[in-house]
């Protein structure tokens, strides 16, 4: 069965061991867990191309990280439970989650640890992932209208983790830094189990908008987490295609800018220091604060490595720079020609 990964920049397809990339018009998908959005006409325009060129009729879908809310909960039982089901964990967890958060959301649960404490009580640690039914139903309907039936759905970073863990070589305590077009998702693992996650709303799109401003172009006005304001939307296929070409052009220009130094030579480091970039500075600040917060929350655990994934890795230099910036081993999760397709490969293996 084919796999389709829908992100802010493009739709990626893996079908019969062949990958294809279909760039989306600006603001086709985006938003957050609370306010996810998808522009039906824009998405349908690209899905018609997907259907025509790949002949996909069924797929496993990979969806954006920012559409989910990830939570970690602890459950205490006076009497130990032998069979700890997913439904049981979800039921007990709702006492710890505000109703407005879980209301109208599909919830998945994963038990990360079960221990008996000195108090002789059973202590359960669990990881929850919530997604609004509204966005799931809307995506499913749009795909079906274009002749593609969604058979299963997975979160982008979950699929990336499955790919990396299947390949082995992960440290006991590590982080995954998944840098995409809309957001950067950072997962922390202790003993191979997830313990903390944070989504940073600075990623490839924001670097692209900074490039547009520098070129004197009107930047995207869609604020992080908000649905774009209504305006004169293009109504023709030609207009959508023109928007896609423009988006591809800026992505190509951004890729050759070398946002981060790739080696420790004085010329590269000096150029990096002199180049002013508010987006870059905020991106690095948020990553640093995330690692600092993790260290304060889990002082007993030392993260020894960070695995870098996502399309923004193709800009180069991120592994070298973050290794020095965070004082850990930062490495790419795959060669550059595969780095943006790890979620596809993971789902294909299932």
What are the tens digits of pLDDT across the range 11-50?
A: 999 998 899 999 999 999 999 999 999 999 999 999 999 9
| Range in 3-12, 72-81, 226-235, 246-255 with the lowest mean pLDDT | 226-235
Task: Enumerate residues 6+ apart whose C-beta is below 8 A from 244.
Answer: 23, 24, 25
Distance CA 162, CA 343 (A): 8
* 121 domain-assigned: yes
* 84 domain-assigned: yes
Residue closest to 145 by CA, chosen among 235, 45, 44 = 44
pLDDT tens per residue across span 141-153: 999 999 999 999 9
Number of H helices, E strands in the chain: 11, 15
Percent helix, strand, coil in the chain, to 5, is 40, 30, 30
Percent share of the chain, pLDDT over 90: 71
* 78 domain-assigned: yes
- Dmax (CA) for the chain in angstroms is 68
* 324 domain-assigned: no
Question: What are the C-alpha distances in Å from 186 to residues 196, 197, 313, 344?
Answer: 8, 6, 14, 19
Number of domains in the chain: 1
Q: Which domain holds residue 78?
A: 69-132
Domain holding 88: CATH number? Answer: 3.30.1660
What pLDDT band is residue 73 in, cutting at 50, 70 and 90? very high
* 110 domain-assigned: yes
- Does the pLDDT value for residue 168 go beyond 90? no
pLDDT tens per residue across span 282-337: 999 999 999 999 999 999 999 999 999 998 888 878 999 999 999 999 999 999 88
Distance CA 108, CA 5 (A): 20
* 41 domain-assigned: no
* 125 domain-assigned: yes
The pLDDT value recorded for residue 228 is: 46
* 24 domain-assigned: no
| Helix, strand or coil, per DSSP, at residue 147 | coil
β-pairing verdict for 2-6 and 58-63: parallel
| Helix, strand or coil, per DSSP, at residue 23 | strand
């Amino acid at each position: 069965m084919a796999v389709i990964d829908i992100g802010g920049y493009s739709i990626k397809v893996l079908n019969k061991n062949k990958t294809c990339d279909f760039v989306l018009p600006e603001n086709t998908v985006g938003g957050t867990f609370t306010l996810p959005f998808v522009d039906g006409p824009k998405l349908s325009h690209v899905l018609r191309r997907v259907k025509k060129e790949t002949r996909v009729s069924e797929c496993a879908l990979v969806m954006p990280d920012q559409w989910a809310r990830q939570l970690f909960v602890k459950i205490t039982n006076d009497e130990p439970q032998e069979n700890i089901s997913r439904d049981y964990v979800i039921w007990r967890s709702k006492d710890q989650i505000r109703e407005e958060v879980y209301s109208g959301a599909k919830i998945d649960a994963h038990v990360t640890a079960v221990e008996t404490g000195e108090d002789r009580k059973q202590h359960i640690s669990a990881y929850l992932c919530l997604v609004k039914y509204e966005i799931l139903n809307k995506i499913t309907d749009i795909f079906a209208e274009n002749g593609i039936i969604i058979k299963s759905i997975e979160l982008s970073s979950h699929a990336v983790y499955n790919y990396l863990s299947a390949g082995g070589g992960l440290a006991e305590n590590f982080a995954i830094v998944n840098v995409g077009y809309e957001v950067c998702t950072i997962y922390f693992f202790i003993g191979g189990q997830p313990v903390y996650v944070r989504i940073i709303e600075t990623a490839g799109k924001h670097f692209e908008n900074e490039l547009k401003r520098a070129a004197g172009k009107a930047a995207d006005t869609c604020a992080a987490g908000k649905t774009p304001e209504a305006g004169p939307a293009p109504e023709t296929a030609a207009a959508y295609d023109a928007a896609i070409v423009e988006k591809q052009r800026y992505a190509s220009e951004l890729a050759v800018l070398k946002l981060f130094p790739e080696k420790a030579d004085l010329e590269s480091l000096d150029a990096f220091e002199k180049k002013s970039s508010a987006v870059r500075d905020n991106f690095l600040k948020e990553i640093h604060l995330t690692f600092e917060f993790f260290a304060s929350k889990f002082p007993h655990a030392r993260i020894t490595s960070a695995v870098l994934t996502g399309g923004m890795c193709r800009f180069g230099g991120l592994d070298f720079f973050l290794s020095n910036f965070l004082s850990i081993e930062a490495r790419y999760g795959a060669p550059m020609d595969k780095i943006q397709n790890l979620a596809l490969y993971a789902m294909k293996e299932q």
